[in-house]
Amino acid sequence: MGAGLGSHLHIEGDSLVHRLPAHVKLVALVSFILLVVALPREAHLARVAMLLTALAVVGLTRVRWRHVLARLVVETPFVVFALVLPFVATGPTREVGPFTVSHDGVAASIVLLLTATTSCLMAIAFATTTSSRDLVRALQHLHVPDRLVQILAFMVRYLGVVGSQSQRMKVARESRGFAPRSLGGWPVIASSAGALFIRSYERGERVHLAMMSRGYDGRMPVTDPLEADRRDWARGLAPTVLALLALVWVHAA
Amino acid sequence: MHVPDGFLDAPTSMATAVVAAAGVGLALSRARRELDDRTAPLAGLVAVFVFAAQLLNFPVGAGTSGHLLGGTLAAVLVGPWTATLCLTVVLTVQALLFADGGITALGTNITLMGLVGVWAGWAVFTSLRRLVRSRGLAAVPALAGVAAFASVPVAALAFTLLYAVGGRAPIPLGELVAAMVGWHTLIGLGEGFITFLAVGSIIATRPDLVHGARSLVHARALEIRTDARA
Amino acid sequence: MTTPVLDVRGLAFAYPDGHQALFGVDLHVHRGERVALLGPNGAGKTTLVLHLNGILEAGAGSVSVSGMPVVRENHLEVRRRVGIVFQDPDDQLFMPTVRDDVAFGPANLGLRGEALEARIAKALEAVAMGEFADRAPHHLSFGQRRRVAIASVLAMEPEILVLDEPSSNLDPTSRRELGELIQSLDVTVLMVTHDLPFALQLCERSVILSDGVVAADGPTRAILDDVGLLRAHRLELPWGFTG
Amino acid sequence: MTTPVLDVRGLAFAYPDGHQALFGVDLHVHRGERVALLGPNGAGKTTLVLHLNGILEAGAGSVSVSGMPVVRENHLEVRRRVGIVFQDPDDQLFMPTVRDDVAFGPANLGLRGEALEARIAKALEAVAMGEFADRAPHHLSFGQRRRVAIASVLAMEPEILVLDEPSSNLDPTSRRELGELIQSLDVTVLMVTHDLPFALQLCERSVILSDGVVAADGPTRAILDDVGLLRAHRLELPWGFTG
């Protein structure tokens, strides 16, 4: 049967980006995007430069572009919003061909498209090169509250298990002639959701029993801490430095 | 409703991040009371459930379909604090592993869905329960449904307010409110109905798993048998 | 010769991730037969089963049910004719009561009112679970849930009943009772299993699926006696079995 | 007589919902024994197992492990001494890699560094899964996952290994290999099962738990030969078994 949810997010590889320690990547990702978001509104050129930086990082991962494009689909609703924005925003207007568009709307639209795409690309570069195990270790390393890290670890671990359960339930429904085409299907969907909740909850209880049986006391043991040297940090933070330079340059200009 | 990076300006993103951090911090200490030391595995699996439930598409008509947001559903099932944690983790995973929702917008998304969505639904649910004064289980699914319905336009309203404060382009606010709240009232109908049915189906089988319906269970004296056949 | 109930020809299939599970499967099941589909884990048994009612679409080759090709236009009718009972009854039972679960299939076929009630009663009767109609499936024992899962498929009055690992996880008495139940049903059966004694007890004919192709097809007794054949496909009779 | 590894006396227990599952259980297991705990579904087997390491607290009676009473203050030590392998490996393997899962128990006991690595290597070696250390559990077959689950418990070097339905859902070859694995381990074993041939093959002694009390305790062969006893507790040897 299919591999279930979440298993194609991380793609094995041995690129420069793959080899960077996960906490370095996470710090780099967040700091880079913070700086990009902090760029002033008119700094379109700097934004294009940041988009190119993100594209370069994605290129370095050596992940196939087809895969990256498929993942970019999540951005669609906001691309639509960005395309509508020039027509609904207020303020001074100007003529572009047959259309009357808002000056501010066009600017905001460009900002949104460039920023969201840059950030999506960087996040994809992170997600495809970082295993869920390393993500959990990185969050642990960066002192995110332990309980939150644990919840996230369980979620990532059981996404596939519960996902394939949900998938098997769907197959079993369809095998008995169910096709979700109308409002009449709602009670069936809701009953399935209810059954899925009960199964998820009961699994949670069993997992907890199994953990207690092996001496779990509410804290996750750290057995394999992450390590990074200066070179890792230098490589990882290169895009962040570029973003910082862009920000300084824009303000100086 | 997942806000991407660059949608709101930096100060607004920062402010919502602070709000989210405070809310999640509080939830971390309070969730223990709802699930004791089982918090981590159970909340993790409830987070998986919320994620999976968001994948269950239900037909809305005219060829389109909607999906659950799940904030109120989670609050009624596992309690609002745990629900906040679950939504926080779901949104974090979506941002970091699925590039769905921005990373600097994570605070905004947690505030909108994990705090406003969950707590608006929970507040409506508890006040309705007090109003109805029902002690039985029968009313719980309906109250949960109404609460889930109400939570969606409330979250949409909060979204509009944030946009008014930190949006990058001026949009006539009245029209934005009307469009967002109007559209989300429709989505809320679906959310409410599915929540009503889902909570109902869980109460029919395992009422003890519904946090919003905890009822007293009586302890009995143990019996000792000396024979295999009672 | 009559039209086979199940006619699989040259069926090949690869999952979207590129993993090919079936490499040209031929399988014919005639009315009234009980056939065991044997094979080790990962042999493609479940993949094959999901082709029988069009959940998966053949990459090459074809599947027909009583002469009707399994293609999208025929899905509803094919799914009525081929009743699949999945391995884990919890995947199949999701309604608040046993009655609702058994009603689900026939209701999807459009049955209502008395006709529906009659179907439910008959199906629950067949698996001896009539008195449990108003119980929640969740509160039944595992063996009872499996019986209800079978009833939920029988209620569609299928021409062929496909059972995926029906004896798994059952305690010995439930397993025997299930065997008696399957023998009592007046329906063509295809049973996927690695419980070889169970196959021998219930099915006159067995097919070994291995690495996505049919590796053997013949009387169950002859197949189980061929130790070399079994071993070549990671199959073996359990210790102490001399049936 | 030496102190038994496992000493259960007059154990009774009711769940918070009022359902009473155990009604006074007495059970003693000595070092080096392999004991099968038999009984139909719902007999209270799993409830009993959860008392052995203090997951559930006795309502009446007591449990001791090598003389140490199972009470809250001793939980960590008791959980080291009693290693429970649950039925569904997916409940037990919750970490992202096989290595992390096997490390989890010993790490909770405070092991780090080389001592931890050595434990992991030894446990994976014992179940012949050494080469899979860096794999994700969900990429393994069901039989492999069960072996890893056993390794994750062996890594705590328990004094008694408790296996809940170890042969369930395994194909015949995996089942035989698991039997050989259990026989190769140098550890006291309590095996909960309804697979009677498996019990006969691996355990010299069997205990029947039925309706929350011990209904029989003796040599496995003698118990399995007593058809009346088996039948009274919904147990029976499978068709064709003459081991």
The model's pLDDT over B35-55, given as tens digits with 9 standing for 90+, comes to 777 778 889 999 999 888 877
Cβ distance of C90 and A177 shorter than 8 Å: no
Q: Give the tens place of pLDDT for each residue, C150-190.
A: 999 999 999 999 999 999 989 888 999 999 999 999 999 99
Which of chain B's residues have a Cβ under 8 Å away from the Cβ of C139?
205
Please answer whether residues D154 and D161 qualify as being in contact, where contact means their C-beta atoms are separated by less than 8 angstroms: yes
**pLDDT over 90 at A26, yes or no:** yes
Closest approach of C137 to chain B, Cα-based (Å): 8
What pLDDT does residue A2 have? 34
The rounded distance, in Å, linking the Cα atoms of C46 and C86 is 9
The rounded distance, in Å, linking the Cα atoms of B213 and A53 is 53
Do A15 and A115 share a domain, yes or no? yes
Cβ distance of C138 and B206 shorter than 8 Å: yes
Do A191 and A240 share a domain, yes or no? no
**pLDDT over 70 at A4, yes or no:** no
Q: What is the CATH number of the domain that holds C19?
A: 3.40.50.300
What pLDDT does residue B172 have? 84
**pLDDT over 50 at B219, yes or no:** no
Name the residue in chain B with its Cα closest to that of D95: B41
Do A37 and A114 share a domain, yes or no? yes
Please answer whether residues D65 and D52 qualify as being in contact, where contact means their C-beta atoms are separated by less than 8 angstroms: yes
What pLDDT does residue A242 have? 95
The rounded distance, in Å, linking the Cα atoms of D210 and D45 is 8
B:208-227 residues touching chain A, CB 8 A cutoff: 209
Going by pLDDT thresholds of 50, 70 and 90, the confidence category of residue C26 is very high
**Does B89 touch chain A if contact means CB atoms closer than 8 Å?**
yes
Q: Token pair of D10, please? A: 């007059």
Q: How far is CA B58 from CA A184, B55, B192, in A?
A: 10, 9, 12
**pLDDT over 90 at A129, yes or no:** yes
- Measured in whole angstroms, the distance separating CA A189 from the mean position of its chain's CA atoms is 27
What pLDDT does residue B229 have? 46
Going by pLDDT thresholds of 50, 70 and 90, the confidence category of residue A243 is very high
User: Quick one: DSSP state of residue A39?
Assistant: S
Q: D64 in a domain, yes or no?
A: yes
Average pLDDT, chain D: 93
Do A131 and A189 share a domain, yes or no? no
**Does B138 touch chain C if contact means CB atoms closer than 8 Å?**
no
The rounded distance, in Å, linking the Cα atoms of C230 and C225 is 8
Please answer whether residues D66 and D31 qualify as being in contact, where contact means their C-beta atoms are separated by less than 8 angstroms: no
Token pair 């490996």: residue: D89
Residue whose C-alpha is closest to residue D130's, from D142, D116, D147, D115: D147
Average pLDDT over residues C84-111: 94
**pLDDT over 70 at C147, yes or no:** yes
Average pLDDT over residues B197-223: 74
The rounded distance, in Å, linking the Cα atoms of B104 and B122 is 27
Going by pLDDT thresholds of 50, 70 and 90, the confidence category of residue B31 is confident
Of A160, A207, A217, the CB nearest to D108: A217
The rounded distance, in Å, linking the Cα atoms of D45 and D33 is 19
Q: A6 in a domain, yes or no?
A: no
- Cβ contacts from B onto C, under 8 A: 11
Q: Give the tens place of pLDDT for each residue, D14-34.
A: 987 788 999 999 999 999 999
Do A134 and A185 share a domain, yes or no? no
* Backbone phi and psi for residue B195, each to the nearest 5 degrees, phi listed first: -60, -45
**Does C179 touch chain D if contact means CB atoms closer than 8 Å?**
yes
Please answer whether residues D68 and D100 qualify as being in contact, where contact means their C-beta atoms are separated by less than 8 angstroms: no
**pLDDT over 50 at B216, yes or no:** no
Q: Which subunits count as partners of chain A given 3+ CB pairs below 8 Å?
A: B, C, D
In this structure, the strands spanning C34-38 and C205-210 are: parallel
Q: D238 in a domain, yes or no?
A: no
Q: Which subunits count as partners of chain C given 3+ CB pairs below 8 Å?
A: A, B, D
**pLDDT over 90 at A84, yes or no:** no
- Whole-model pTM: value is 0.89
Name the residue in chain D with its Cα closest to that of A162: D90
The rounded distance, in Å, linking the Cα atoms of D180 and A121 is 51
The rounded distance, in Å, linking the Cα atoms of B216 and B31 is 21
Q: What's the CA angle centered on D202, arms D199 and D207, to 5 degrees?
A: 45
- Specify the amino acid at residue D57: E
| Global ipTM | 0.89
Name the residue in chain B with its Cα closest to that of A129: B97
By percentage, how much of chain D surpasses pLDDT 70?
99
What are chain B's domains? 10-229 (1.10.1760.20)
What pLDDT does residue B1 have? 64
Cβ distance of A206 and D88 shorter than 8 Å: yes
Among the residue ranges A167-181, B49-63, C124-138, D152-166, the one predicted with the least confidence is: B49-63
- Would you list which residues of chain A are within 8 Å, Cβ to Cβ, of chain D? 4, 7, 131-133, 136, 153-154, 156-158, 160-161, 203, 206-207, 209-217, 221, 223-224
The rounded distance, in Å, linking the Cα atoms of B195 and B70 is 8
Please answer whether residues C149 and C129 qualify as being in contact, where contact means their C-beta atoms are separated by less than 8 angstroms: no
Residue A192: give the domain boundaries: 144-213
SS3 D43: coil
- Specify the amino acid at residue D196: L
Q: Which residue has the higher pLDDT, B53 or D162?
A: D162
Residue whose C-alpha is closest to residue C240's, from D186, A154, D119, D221: D221
The rounded distance, in Å, linking the Cα atoms of C206 and A63 is 46
Among the residue ranges B62-71, B143-152, C207-216, D143-152, the one predicted with the least confidence is: B62-71
Do A124 and A189 share a domain, yes or no? no
Average pLDDT over residues B65-90: 88
Q: A67 in a domain, yes or no?
A: yes
**Does B201 touch chain C if contact means CB atoms closer than 8 Å?**
yes
User: Quick one: DSSP state of residue C213?
Assistant: E
Task: Give the mutation candidate from D165, D173, D177, D229 for the C interface (greatest C CB count, under 10 A).
Answer: D173
Among the residue ranges A91-95, B125-129, C161-165, the one predicted with the least confidence is: A91-95
**Does B204 touch chain C if contact means CB atoms closer than 8 Å?**
yes
- Would you list which residues of chain D are within 8 Å, Cβ to Cβ, of chain B? 10, 12-14, 16-18, 20, 23-24, 59-60, 94, 210-215, 232-233
The rounded distance, in Å, linking the Cα atoms of C126 and C137 is 17
Do A153 and A77 share a domain, yes or no? no
Token pair 């009663």: residue: C121
Q: Token pair of B197, please? A: 């049915």
Of A112, A147, A203, the CB nearest to B39: A147
**pLDDT over 90 at C103, yes or no:** yes
Name the residue in chain C with its Cα closest to that of D143: C41
Average pLDDT over residues B93-106: 90
Q: State how many domains chain A has.
A: 2
Do A108 and A196 share a domain, yes or no? no
Name the residue in chain A with its Cα closest to that of B84: A148
**pLDDT over 80 at A55, yes or no:** yes
Going by pLDDT thresholds of 50, 70 and 90, the confidence category of residue C132 is very high
Going by pLDDT thresholds of 50, 70 and 90, the confidence category of residue A105 is confident
Do A149 and A193 share a domain, yes or no? yes
Do A201 and A242 share a domain, yes or no? no
The rounded distance, in Å, linking the Cα atoms of D100 and D137 is 10
Q: Token pair of C127, please? A: 């698996």
Among the residue ranges B111-115, C221-225, D40-44, the one predicted with the least confidence is: D40-44
Going by pLDDT thresholds of 50, 70 and 90, the confidence category of residue B227 is low
User: Quick one: DSSP state of residue B167?
Assistant: B
By percentage, how much of chain C surpasses pLDDT 90?
87
Of B219, B224, B227, the CB nearest to D12: B224
Q: C42 in a domain, yes or no?
A: yes
Closest approach of D146 to chain A, Cα-based (Å): 14
Q: How many CB atoms lie within 10 A of CB A249?
A: 13
Of B208, B219, B223, the CB nearest to D23: B223
Q: Token pair of D23, please? A: 């009604």
Q: A4 in a domain, yes or no?
A: no
Residue D114: give the domain boundaries: 6-232
Q: Which of A150-159, C144-153, D41-50 has the highest mean pLDDT?
A: C144-153
Q: C238 in a domain, yes or no?
A: no
Q: A5 in a domain, yes or no?
A: no
Handedness of CA D140, D141, D142, D143 (dihedral sign): negative
Q: D99 in a domain, yes or no?
A: yes
The rounded distance, in Å, linking the Cα atoms of C228 and C232 is 6
**pLDDT over 80 at B161, yes or no:** yes
Of C47, C80, C90, the CB nearest to A199: C90
The rounded distance, in Å, linking the Cα atoms of D174 and D145 is 11
Q: State how many domains chain D has.
A: 1
Average pLDDT over residues A9-27: 91
